Chains A and B, each alone.
Chain A
């Protein structure tokens, strides 16, 4: 029998060609023109030059990079600590771990609404801050940005926890017993037994979180709407605003291409480093 099982990828590939290649070509076409204006005009690379000279674009980019850095440095350690502390058997532990996973299954919009309720004037958060004599308001740029960070952490610690605790279970107990008998310290146990066991999950979760925080849109849209001013406008929000609300299609398309290339490059570099150049299909 000749092996023709590879033909089975075709349904997926056909769907993705319609969904991915085709739109990419459309954006590419837009990026060299001014699509929403009546006479069709080829503008060459003018749109790309505009984007790269745009102060707004670089601001959004820098803000998003800062956001990603902050979010990662909060979520990964806390998620790891949660995964290490919330394990074992028992009703309480079971409940706690279920509750920690829960946020990752809540729609982004609802997370946004949840936090808007928490932070609206007269909501619980401003109330709690006022106990300490701090005035809390989403109307100041810094507070809005930090609220966005905290909200994202609240939402996605669940994913870090889920992936890490799933891989912690796979480390055989025998290793820990052996380590105890050999008298290794807690740090040594963590460093030489736990760490290697969860390394791959850590890599996956890092990859997912970096990429996802670079494309965050929904909560940004709901919680702050990019405001006050433009102080919480992340890349995706910037794109949607330009393309769908301000109708500068060519500019938005060029920005999309740059953004897309950046994310895919980032993804490629991360995967290459993390898999040590072996690629994702390791046989």
Chain B
């Protein structure tokens, strides 16, 4: 008995050590970035320190002005409009796919999903040329439109997994009672779909918030998003990297992720469960 108990405690200690190790591996880089943003320039460039010797708020001050402020606002605008646009559109499409078989639906669905899988790099050049011709280059509208290319397939995919969990008989019963489709959505279906709504919204938001390739190549000045602005700090030709600003911008870009994971973790983990159908 004693032996077993000893084994148990050892196991428990090992587990706790493992947890702490994991915490360290995943948190240390983030911590290091956050404190780098608070260091003075000379401290960053000359020594490796694990806490700032003297607090320097200059980098974060710069975030509230000029191009950085504009970039953050642009990012927020693009994210919010993406959610507003893609959420209903993907909802309707997913509903159609999950409820009504029609000719060629599997092929259409496969094509839809391949848009999520297609390498974005292939689309940069045509978008660049198209947007230059029709005046969408360097506009938030242009970015928003390109983002739907990747947001819609993924959202539809996630919606589907939620919708398949709701029996079709409920729909039929409602329609027999004389509900129109819209009234059914408003009264019955959307309230049932609330976890799906949150999950899809989070995924659309995160994609639009993190996307960089289009943001870098399809914007110049006016509608640079935060990720695009961040690349500027790293790619300054001939000046070296502006570590302080890069770290400060990076730290700010992480904030929505932290907020979302804290408030919606329950939904995120649940959101993927019915995906078992693929």
Contact = CB atoms under 8 A, between A and B. Distances in A.
Interface of A: 1, 3, 5-9, 11-13, 15-16, 18-20, 22-24, 26-27, 30, 35, 82, 85-86, 92-93, 95-103, 105-110, 112-118, 120, 122-124, 127, 154, 162-163, 165-167, 169-170, 200-201, 203-204, 207, 211, 214-215, 217-218, 221-222, 225, 235-237, 239-240, 243-244, 249, 252-253, 256-257, 259-260, 263-264, 267-268, 271, 274-275, 279-283
Interface string B259-278: 01110010011111101111
B110 A271 contact: yes
Interface in B27-86: 27-30, 32-33, 36, 45-48, 50
Chain A interface SS verdict (over half): helix
Given A120-B243, A239-B122, A244 B23 contact: no
A124 B118 contact: no
Chain B interface SS verdict (over half): helix
Contact of B241 (A116, A243, A259): A116
Given A99-B23, A267-B114, A92 B16 contact: yes
Contact of B126 (A26, A127, A240): A26
Contacts of A271: 110, 113, 278
B18 interface: yes
B48 A23 contact: no
B243 A117 contact: yes
B190 interface: no
Given A11-B93, A204-B278, A221-B231, A117 B247 contact: yes
A263 B253 CA distance: 30
B142 to A, nearest CB: 11
B243 to A, nearest CB: 7
A228 to B, nearest CB: 16
Contacts of B123: 23-24, 27
B130 A26 contact: yes
B97 A281 contact: yes
A235 B121 contact: yes
A200 B117 CA distance: 18
